[in-house]
Amino acid sequence: MTERRRQLRIKLFELKRLKELEIGREITQVEIATVAGISERAISSWMNDNITRYDKGTLEKLCHFFDCDINELLELQSDQ
């Protein structure tokens, strides 16, 4: 029996697009980085789903900014 591997996926790009539609303007990565208290380089990694460690404070700030729950920001996916 083979074990299915599951991996965490960040849905930040999708949340950014939804927020932009809601407020009627583009949101920059600089703006998100400032709100989250992280560098522009770090938010770029978040946007591209290229991070391996998740800071609790950053997650809380992102959830607050996007007015979402953690399960809307992160998703556990099964490899197919």
Rounded Cα distance between 80 and 4, Å, is 8
Beta-carbon contacts of residue 11 (< 8 Å; ≥ 6 apart): 72, 73, 74, 75
- Residue at 11: amino acid letter: K
**Every domain of the chain and the residues it spans:** 7-67
Global pTM reads 0.85
pLDDT reported for residue 59: 95
| CATH code, residues 7-67 | 1.10.260.40
pLDDT digits (tens, 9 = 90+) for 5-39: 778 899 999 999 999 999 999 999 999 999 999 99
Neighbours of 42 (CB within 10 A): 16
pLDDT reported for residue 60: 97
pLDDT digits (tens, 9 = 90+) for 43-80: 999 999 898 889 999 999 999 999 999 999 999 887 75
